[in-house]
């Protein structure tokens, strides 16, 4: 059943658990995420990041995500992740996406507010939910090279400030806010050190569902602490995709003697491994595990 971000996060926000949001760049990953959510009878968020346009154009993958969400036995939100171009977000809204994220985190505060406001005004009449970002989650989405500037910045320069977050939420009318408190996109090179007090202060100031980006590589106990402090949506991609990659690697090693290995076999091996990985992640975020 297709639902909005507001609908899928409402109960989780009130009860302090979290909904997993997984980037799905192909049919194998869409199926893996929905199968995992259905097996656990949990709501879930399928998301498409603008950075993945080259490997999965929105116009092609979007209708598949929507169709699979409508047919699912659990509530599924279909969300546009890290949209930096407003036209791209409008395309997703017109297609039927029930939620979009405008990512103006690289802009200065006033420009981020102004652009986010354009998105919330366009989304409201369509009943589409809006997430925005304030602060700097380390490394860009998609696992690119870190911005050299990050090395020189102190946490205070990068992390979301509670007072500014409250002003941003009031000025933009967003439904959920992505915040920076020590997570990074992609593979962690050192164990993440998360500022849980900051999450709690922002939740108190903003009173909206807060979003953790860069979920891959965060330990299970840290997830639980972050959720207890106020995270309601966890964005997760890299380690799910790597679980599929590792399964294919193992499959090829185990079948090295065969000359007839088919791609559809490898895709199925990857799908099954990603389903298991997503089940574990949702199992950490869901109400009964906290």
Which stretch in 89-97, 201-209, 229-237, 279-287 sits in contact with Zn ion by CB under 5 A? 229-237
Q: Which of residues 135-164 bind Zn ion (CB under 5 A)?
A: 141
What is the DSSP code string of 51-113? GGTTTS-HHHHHHHHHHHHHH-SS-EEEEEEEE--HHHHHHHHHHT-SEEEE--TTS-HHHHH
CA pair distance 283, 227, nearest whole angstrom: 13
Q: Which of 6, 105, 112, 238 binds ligand G3H (CB under 6 A)?
A: 238
* 271, interface contact from Zn ion, ligand G3H, none, CB < 5-8 Å by kind: none
Buried b (16+ CB within 10 A) or exposed e, 117-128: bebbebbeeeeb
Give the DSSP H/E element, type plus range, for residue 41.
Answer: none
C-alpha span between 48 and 44 (Å, rounded):
13
User: Which one of 43, 135, 162, 214 is in contact with ligand G3H (CB under 6 A)?
Assistant: 214
Regarding 133 and contact with ligand G3H (CB under 6 A), the answer is: no
State which of residues 213, 233, 271, 277 lies at the interface with Zn ion (CB under 5 A).
Answer: 213
Q: To which residue do tokens 């959720």 refer? A: 227
d(CA 223, CA 220): 5
For the beta carbon of residue 262, count every other beta carbon within 10 angstroms. 9
Q: Per CB under 6 A, does 236 bind ligand G3H? A: yes
Name which position in 83, 135, 162, 186 contacts ligand G3H (CB under 6 A): 186
Only segment of 31-39, 198-206, 235-243, 271-279 that touches ligand G3H (CB under 6 A): 235-243
Instruction: Return the SS3 of 233.
Output: strand
Determine which one of 35, 81, 103, 222 is catalytic: 81
195 binds Zn ion, rule: CB under 5 A: no
Q: Is 4:98 a contact under the CB 8 Å cutoff?
A: yes
Smallest gap from Cβ 62 to Zn ion, in A, equals 18
Bridge partners (DSSP) of residue 199 are none
81 labelled catalytic: yes
Kindly state the smallest distance separating residue 288's Cβ from Zn ion, in Å. Answer: 26
Q: With contacts defined by CB under 5 A, name the span among 134-142, 151-159, 165-173, 277-285 that binds Zn ion.
A: 134-142
Q: Which two tokens stand for residue 169?
A: 């939420």
Q: How far is the CB of 178 from ligand G3H (least distance, A)?
A: 8
Minimal distance, residue 203 CB to Zn ion, in Å: 19
For 132: left if phi > 0, alpha if psi spans -120 to 50, otherwise beta; the answer is beta
The correct pick among 215, 223, 232, 281 for binding ligand G3H (CB under 6 A) is 215
- Enumerate residues 70-89 that contact ligand G3H by CB under 6 A: 81-82
Residue 124 token pair = 């409201």
Q: Report the residue number, 65 or 266, with the smaller CB distance to Zn ion.
A: 65
Contact 24, 69 (CB under 8 A): no
Tell me the closest approach of the beta carbon of residue 229 to ligand G3H, in angstroms.
18
Active site residues: 81
Question: Contact positions toward Zn ion, by CB under 5 A?
Answer: 141, 213, 235
Question: Contact positions toward ligand G3H, by CB under 6 A?
Answer: 23, 49, 81-82, 141, 185-186, 213-216, 235-238
């Amino acid at each position: 059943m297709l639902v909005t971000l507001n609908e899928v996060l409402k109960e989780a926000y009130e009860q302090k658990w979290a909904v997993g949001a997984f980037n799905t760049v192909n049919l194998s990953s869409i199926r893996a995420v929905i199968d995992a959510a259905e097996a656990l009878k949990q709501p879930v968020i399928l998301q498409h990041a603008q950075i993945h346009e080259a490997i999965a154009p929105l116009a092609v993958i979007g209708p598949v995500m929507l169709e699979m969400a409508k047919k699912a036995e659990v509530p599924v939100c279909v969300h546009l992740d890290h949209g930096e171009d407003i036209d791209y977000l409008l395309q997703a809204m017109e297609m039927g996406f029930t939620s979009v994220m405008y990512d103006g985190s690289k802009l200065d505060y006033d420009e981020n507010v102004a652009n986010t406001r354009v998105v919330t005004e366009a989304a409201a009449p369509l009943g589409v939910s809006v997430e925005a970002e304030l602060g700097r989650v380390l490394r860009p989405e998609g696992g690119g090279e870190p911005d050299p500037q990050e090395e020189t910045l102190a946490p205070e320069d990068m992390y979301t400030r509670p007072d500014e977050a409250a002003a941003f939420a009031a000025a933009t009318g967003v439904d959920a806010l992505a915040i920076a408190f020590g997570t990074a996109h992609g593979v962690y090179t050192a164990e993440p050190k998360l500022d849980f007090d900051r999450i709690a202060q922002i939740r108190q100031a903003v009173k909206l569902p807060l979003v953790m980006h860069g979920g891959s590589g965060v330990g299970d106990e840290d997830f639980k602490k972050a959720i207890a402090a106020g995270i309601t949506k966890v964005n997760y991609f890299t380690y799910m995709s790597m679980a599929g990659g590792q399964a294919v690697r193992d499959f090829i090693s185990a079948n090295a003697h065969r000359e007839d290995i088919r791609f559809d076999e490898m895709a199925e091996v990857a799908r099954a491994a990603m389903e298991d990985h997503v089940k574990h992640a949702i199992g950490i975020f869901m109400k009964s595990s906290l």
